Amino acid sequence: MEKKDHNILQVKDLCVQVKTKAGFTSLVQGLNFGIEKGKVLGIVGESGSGKTVTSMSILQLLDQKSMEIQGSITLKGQELNGLKNKDMQKIRGKDIAFIMQNPMNAFTPVFTIGHQFVETIKSHTSLNKKQAKELAIEVMQYVNLPDPAKLLKNYPFQLSGGMLQRVMIAMATCLHPSVIIADEPTTALDLHNQLLVLRLLDKIRSEYGTSILLISHDLGVIAEMADDVIVMKRGRIIEKANVFELFDHPQHEYTKKLLNTRPILQVEQQPLINML
Ligand SMILES: Nc1ncnc2c1ncn2[C@@H]1O[C@H](COP(=O)(O)OP(=O)(O)OP(=O)(O)O)[C@@H](O)[C@H]1O
C-alpha cells in the first residue's frame, strides 16, 4: 500500500475539516494510503467513520465553502487537491469514475439513459453523437446488459436498481478510467445483483487494469474483492493490511469486532458462471 512509485492514486496526510459556528471540526485526519494499478483497496468502518468524506475529497466534490481539505491527493503524479473545478471536471468521469450506492441518484429522471450516456461520453471525447452511441452500446454489451439499443431509449425509472447499477458501471467504465471509486456499490441491491456487480468490477479490474477504491461497511464484500484494506474509525485509519492478514490476524479490537459481526456472502452457492 505504501510503495508510492507504483501507486496510481496516492493520498498523503489528508485532513478534512468542516466550519462550524464554534470553529473547525475534523471529519477525517492524517489519512495516508495508496492504490497500485489493477488493485482493489477496501475501506471499511462503521457509519460516520469518514469513508464517504474520504472519497468525496479525492473527487474534490466536498463543498469548498464549508470544508477545508488539507494534504495531498495525487493521481498518476498529478495533484488533485486544490485543482480548479473546471480542471477537476475533466478528470472526473474520465480518469476517476464514481459509482455510488443508489444508482437512481446518478441519473437525471427527465432524460433517457441514452441521452445521459451519450452526453457523458461527448463531454470527455471528440466523438460525435453516433460514435458515442455506438460506444455506449458496445460497453453495455461488455457488462452483459440485454438489448442495449432498447435500454438507451428508457428513462431511469423504467429500469430495476440492479440494471441501473450496471448501466452506471458501464458509464463509469467506458472511458477506461485509471481509478474507480465505488462507494457501497452493492448495498441497495439484492444478493443476485450484488454478486453480478462484484463480478463486473473484478472483470474491469483484471481486463483493463483499473484500480478500485471500494468503500463498504460489509466485510463480506471486502473479503471477496479487496487486495488491501484500511479500517476507519472516527475519521482516522486505525489499521491497514493485506486482506488475508486483516482477516487472519486482525490487530485492532475494533477490527476484531467488525469481523465478528460480518455477514456471510454466499458466493459458492450462486450459479455465477452464467451471470457474466
Ligand atoms: N457536510 C457535512 N457537514 C458536517 N459534517 C459532515 C458532513 N458530511 C459528513 N459529515 C460528518 O463526517 C463524518 C463522516 O461522515 P461519512 O459520511 O464520511 O461517514 P461514512 O463512514 O461514509 O458513513 P456511512 O457508512 O453512514 O456512509 C460523520 O460524522 C458525518 O456526520
Over residues 109-134, the pLDDT tens digits come to 999 999 999 999 998 899 999 999 99
- Note the pLDDT of residue 272: 42
Distance CA 103, CA 227 (A): 25
CB atoms near residue 274 (< 10 Å): 5
| % of the chain at pLDDT higher than 90 | 64
Residue 271 has pLDDT above 50, yes or no: no
Q: Is the pLDDT of residue 150 over 90?
A: yes
Q: Collapsing DSSP states into helix, strand and coil, what is residue 260?
A: helix
Domain parsing of the chain, residue ranges: 1-84+220-276
Per-residue cell: 58: 479525492
Closest protein CA for atom 11 of ligand 1: 27
**pTM > 0.95: yes or no:** no
Coil vs helix vs strand at 239: strand
Ligand 1 site-directed mutation target among 25, 51, 56, 183, most atoms within 8 Å of CB: 51
Q: Which residues line ligand 1 (CB under 6 A)?
A: 18, 27, 45, 47-53, 217
1-84+220-276: CATH number:
3.40.50.300
CA of 51 to the centre of ligand 1 (A): 8
**By alpha-carbon position, which residue is closest to atom 19 of ligand 1?**
48
Residue to mutate, 20, 52, 214, 230, ligand 1, most ligand atoms under 8 Å from C-beta: 52
Q: Is the pLDDT of residue 29 over 80?
A: yes
Instruction: Find the length of the chain.
Output: 276
Nearest CA to 252 out of 78, 49, 3 is that of 49
pLDDT grade, residue 149 (50/70/90)? very high
